[in-house]
Structure 1
Amino acid sequence: MKICILTTFFVVIIISVISHSRSERICKRPITKHLRHAVLSSTVSKRSYTETGLRFEVVYSQNVISWSRFHSFKMSVMDAATGFWEKSLSVKEPSGKNSLIKRNCLYDVGYVNAENDAVHCNRCLKEVTCGNYSIPAKYLTGCYEIHYGSEDVRIYEKGEGIQPNKFLLFVDRMSDEMCQDSTAAYTIVCELHEETERPIAAYINFCPQYLDEKEEFDEETVVTAVHELGHALGFSSELFPYFRDEYGNPRTKRHPKTIDRYFHTWAVLQVVDTLILPTVLHEARIHYNCPHLDGVDLENEGGEGTSGTHFEKRLVGNEVMSGSTSRSLRVSRLTLAFFKDTGWYDVDLNATKNWEYGKNLGCDFVMKSCYEYMERNRYGKSLKPYCNEIGVRRCTDIKTNGICYIVKHRNILPREFQYLTRDATYGEDPRYYSGKPGLYDYCPLYTEVDNFLGNPITASCEDEENNQRMTTG
């Protein structure tokens, strides 16, 4: 199986603003350039590891522990998020041996001695970090300094390591350069299992400004944590080359170039990364009702850390592993199918919430641009989930109030994002108008709102008071 680039050609469509939409935060994450492999302990653990269910070992930084809201955050957010993944995933064939994170040598000069689970260096370095966190010694290998002509000297003893079915997670709350542009949180993958190459350790930093703006931790906070844990467990572009098939064999060649190039002719050249994985493809074909779907697109906007490491927002909408977070995110069978296809987990595909975005909209929706889809459906058919009438209200798939959201730009848009006609923009030049900026390729959508013509409303479109306010303005 390959992770492929589809070179596609398309023309898109756009909309304009009349109300305040609920904020969506773009997910950006640093890409780990050099992933480390842990060392399997030479001794079998004294415990019997018949259990394969995924379990998190969560280590909180002092920044989190000293925070006045720590206990509420731990119970309401982290316990809920880790609990979801523990219920959904089991580790496939854990080895029975603990994993030890390698200590560092000065100038990287040294070697691993498999007999004593230690690194032998010219000089041992004390600190090993995961993100901004210094990893405790209990998870590290031993370290000996080489003395030529005599016995090497032990500087650090080996620790207990990470148990076979566990995932070591460091959680921080620090304002740093990544916590810019309304970033809620980010994840760094730190360590891979020596044999299976499953990620076994990661760092998640929740940006203080994101957490502090919340009077209480709501559903959005929980799904943000679920999303970040998804990156830690495998939904990260740097991990794609390490996936295994159902027999445990690598899906891709052990070479940096693991991408093939495909061409789909639309209208304007656009390069798109596409996942071609068996279970993902099966679930996507069923969900979209598109039997000949050839792959599931990854995000093509947002820059490094967003592009290529999430599902394409235009196609999955409020799916949890899309490139932006909001309280309406849903974990779908598509995401759980992805984790099955990593080869690292046995997965409960039914541990999901109802996900309606794009359901049964067919191949035109999932394989064409939103412009082409709307053109084919413009006469007598629903444009769902898109729209072409400024300000029209509709109840969305998740039963929230949505407004047809169109923005006027200062400059003429690139041709590939010119979707609207003069009818849709009330006679104004449509080349200046588009859908909501962000990750939807500027397609015109019904966007969830909390304010209509100055009137505050709640989310539910089944609330009669909301309906009256939105009708009367």
Structure 2
Amino acid sequence: MAPEWGGGTGSSGLGPRPSRWHWSCSLWVRGVLLLLSGFRASATSIPVSLGSSPPCRHHVPSDTEVINKVHLKANHVVKRDVDEHLRIKTVYDKSIEELLPEKRYLVKNKLFPQAISYLEKTFQVRRPAGTILLSRQCATNQYLRKENDPHRYCTGECAERTKCGPIIVPEEHLQQCRVCRGGKWPCGAVGVPDQEGVQDADFVLYVGALATERCSHENIISCSLFFGFSAGLFAFYHDKDGNPLTSRFADGLPPFNYSLGLYQWSDKVVRKVERLWDVRDNKIVSHTVYLLVTPRVVDEARKHFNCPILEGMELENQGGMGTELNHWEKRLLENEAMTGSHTQNRVLSRITLALMEDTGWYKANYSMAEKLDWGRGMGCDFVKKSCKFWIDQQRKKRQMLSPYCDTLRSNPLQLTCRQDQRAVAVCNLQKFPKPLPREYQYFDELSGIPAEDLPYYGGSVEIADYCPFSQEFSWHLSGEYQRSSDCRILENQPDLFKNYGAEKYGPHSVCLIQKSAFVMEKCERKLSYPDWGSGCYQVSCSPQGLKVWVQDISYLCSRAGQVLPVSIQMNGWIHDGNLLCPSCWDFCELCPPETDPPATNLTRALPLVTVMVVCAGPSQFLLQCFQSVQLTSLFVEQH
């Protein structure tokens, strides 16, 4: 396969706001064109802001943008018996050179080199191509094919310039123009002969910084896209032996679905399934899902969720064109990199690497996969039923609702921990201005909410099927960002006099549940912070088990759920509170058997008071001095 970029309407389209910049990244790999696009980010001025973005509006390749049987220079094709690491060639548009020096350095020396290094280590190409030479665009965007001829012939003239998205492709990357005059045979090559092409590359990445119409909206954020994860390419997947998973016509193309505007995949790739879906009032409705059912994806999904009967991995069913079917279902893989919006802590999991292998174009290095905690080991009820069913079952078992929740965002906040226990979080359950679709009404009751208002309540992330979940956030003051709630970022450490819970942010810190609100005490003053429920604390692993550190004092967790009474002195104040121990296995590779903790040590730091101290010194006179001291001991020296 190979790309063809549309002519005419496919201009760069300078928008009305040239001061807004967007990194426009066009990807070409083994004949597949992909565009990295963008979308608007929500803005808020409230004190606490959930880190959620609108759905990714991926540009799905049309039939004219997917070219089958790309011609490669035969004398440059290198035959290899083993897979080799993916080679990515980055081509920077002149617009990058026009950026301010610091931005140009960021793009060319940090962002793209780091991303490319990761991808090259993660993927190998099954059948590495030779020199890449791209087809020229047609002036009319119409072309003809000749039997047993790999080239495409423009009906008329070739376009003056060939573009990859909004970026002009260099002439040296292009084939000779091939045309059929008047749309009739004979057809042939005209003009400048084939150029040198792109050598020593399996993937060409064109990068520009252009103020295009598509990116003229404010607050643009990058959009997730991965090589081959696109509904426009599902019909071109093939098995490990190179056989197409979707039947082809004589011209090598699969059937085209005009209602979808896509090549139609077979049920060996994507399958439609009806789920039984629990909703409010004890009703069950039918819920339609589309599953990606390729072999490696099925295997990895079953292992991840611990569901041996899972038919495949669910694709996104919301978000409209560019999100629907082009990403994993947000409800099931919340922070996986290939879900349709960014909310928190993105990771690239084994499931996405499995999909890349199942395209037939890559081999994946699974050691490069990142750990995905969301949904891990939660079973078939979690992955095959609605979040209402899961929440109700957890309530019956008197177990935590995680990763879902049912706490309304209110003032003060009831804090909790993110699913992976690496950030403080809040439940994103909220009231919507209109009743949610019947399919997404999950609550039979909510504390303090009248029954007639229940249809208005759901999670704030639409593409997660409105399921409420605990989500990291950021603090704002007068609309200005202050810090985020990620425990591992040292810069998130609260100010000394606002650190009620004696928290510690840093690379070795995790989120722990607070059993009670922390109280700061000094003399006759007692202070507590209204927003409580969790905080960030440093932990370490030891032969005795997991240790929690508060200031310089360590507390040993003998078992999960153990209550740790904390009483420490910090900056002249006594901080009292209780923390809940997590499981040692959540953070340590080796853990001793769980035991009951020793008898609770009720010793607390003594209060700070103002006292009169009478001092007698060698000068043989009395000095009356007022000091704020800690009453651990009082020693009067007399001579």
State the TM-score, normalized to the length of structure 2: 0.59
Corresponding position: 1:450 with 2:480: no
Checking the alignment, whether the CA contact within 8 Å between 1:388 and 1:424 is kept in structure 2 is no
Q: Given the alignment, which residue of 260, 275, 292 partners 1:264? A: 275
- 5 Å matches for 1:301-316? 301-316=318-333
Checking the alignment, whether the CA contact within 8 Å between 2:415 and 2:424 is kept in structure 1 is yes
Deviations 1:121-178 (A, max 9, x none): 7534332221111211222111256789999674111012244752111112223343
- 5 Å matches for 1:8-407? 19-34=48-63, 35-37=66-68, 39-45=70-76, 52-68=84-100, 69-95=103-129, 97-107=130-140, 108=142, 122-143=156-177, 154-163=190-199, 165-179=201-215, 180=217, 182-186=219-223, 227-228=224-225, 230=226, 233-253=227-247, 254-256=254-256, 257-259=264-266, 260-266=271-277, 267-326=284-343, 328-379=345-396, 380-390=398-408, 391-398=413-420, 399-407=422-430
Deviation at 1:115, TM superposition (A): 9.0
Checking the alignment, whether the CA contact within 8 Å between 1:275 and 1:295 is kept in structure 2 is yes
- My pick for the range that moved more, 171-180 or 67-76, is 171-180
Checking the alignment, whether the CA contact within 8 Å between 1:27 and 1:183 is kept in structure 2 is no
User: Structure 1 residues 115 and 395 mapped into 2: Cα distance closer, same or farther (>3 Å)?
Assistant: closer
1:268 aligns to what SS in structure 2?
strand
Deviation at 1:354, TM superposition (A): 1.9
2:115 aligns to what SS in structure 1?
helix
Deviations 1:406-445 (A, max 9, x none): 2112233222222224343444632222211332111111
Checking the alignment, whether the CA contact within 8 Å between 2:395 and 2:401 is kept in structure 1 is yes
C-alpha separation between the residues in 1 aligned to 2:347 and 2:53? 14
2:464 aligns to what SS in structure 1?
coil
Amino acid at match of 1:264: R
Give RMSD over aligned pairs.
Answer: 3.3
User: Structure 1 residues 74 and 326 mapped into 2: Cα distance closer, same or farther (>3 Å)?
Assistant: farther
User: Structure 1 residues 106 and 318 mapped into 2: Cα distance closer, same or farther (>3 Å)?
Assistant: closer
Checking the alignment, whether the CA contact within 8 Å between 1:299 and 1:310 is kept in structure 2 is yes
Deviation at 1:49, TM superposition (A): 6.8
Deviations 1:49-98 (A, max 9, x none): 78721111111222222111111122221111111111000110225x32
Checking the alignment, whether the CA contact within 8 Å between 1:54 and 1:89 is kept in structure 2 is yes
C-alpha separation between the residues in 1 aligned to 2:133 and 2:193? 12
- My pick for the range that moved more, 123-132 or 422-431, is 422-431
1:324 aligns to what SS in structure 2?
coil
- My pick for the range that moved more, 258-267 or 300-309, is 258-267
Corresponding position: 1:435 with 2:459: yes
Greater per-residue helix proportion: 1
C-alpha separation between the residues in 1 aligned to 2:392 and 2:156? 68
Deviations 1:202-245 (A, max 9, x none): xxxxxxxxxxxxxxxxxxxxxxxxx33x1xx1111111111110
Amino acid at match of 2:485: A
Deviation at 1:119, TM superposition (A): 5.3
Amino acid at match of 2:486: S
Checking the alignment, whether the CA contact within 8 Å between 2:335 and 2:374 is kept in structure 1 is yes
- My pick for the range that moved more, 124-133 or 32-41, is 32-41
Q: Given the alignment, which residue of 413, 416, 425 partners 2:436? A: 413
State the TM-score, normalized to the length of structure 1: 0.78
Amino acid at match of 2:402: K
2:108 aligns to what SS in structure 1?
helix
C-alpha separation between the residues in 1 aligned to 2:150 and 2:440? 60
C-alpha separation between the residues in 2 aligned to 1:106 and 1:412? 49
1:384 aligns to what SS in structure 2?
coil
Higher relative contact order (CA 8 A, sep 6+): 1
2:177 aligns to what SS in structure 1?
strand
C-alpha separation between the residues in 1 aligned to 2:359 and 2:331? 24
Checking the alignment, whether the CA contact within 8 Å between 1:61 and 1:170 is kept in structure 2 is yes
Deviation at 1:285, TM superposition (A): 1.1
1:211 corresponding residue in structure 2: none
Checking the alignment, whether the CA contact within 8 Å between 2:71 and 2:150 is kept in structure 1 is no
C-alpha separation between the residues in 1 aligned to 2:243 and 2:186? 43
Checking the alignment, whether the CA contact within 8 Å between 2:153 and 2:180 is kept in structure 1 is no
Amino acid at match of 2:414: V
2:327 aligns to what SS in structure 1?
coil
C-alpha separation between the residues in 2 aligned to 1:425 and 1:250? 56
Checking the alignment, whether the CA contact within 8 Å between 1:42 and 1:116 is kept in structure 2 is no
Amino acid at match of 2:92: Y
- My pick for the range that moved more, 139-148 or 268-277, is 139-148
Deviations 1:331-357 (A, max 9, x none): 111111111111111110110222111
C-alpha separation between the residues in 2 aligned to 1:28 and 1:144? 34
Greater per-residue strand proportion: 2
- My pick for the range that moved more, 29-38 or 256-265, is 256-265
Amino acid at match of 1:400: A
User: Structure 1 residues 149 and 327 mapped into 2: Cα distance closer, same or farther (>3 Å)?
Assistant: closer
C-alpha separation between the residues in 2 aligned to 1:31 and 1:458? 34
Amino acid at match of 1:70: R
Gaps of 5+ in 2: 1-45, 248-253, 257-263, 278-283, 504-513, 518-528, 531-639
Deviation at 1:452, TM superposition (A): 8.8
Deviation at 1:181, TM superposition (A): 7.0
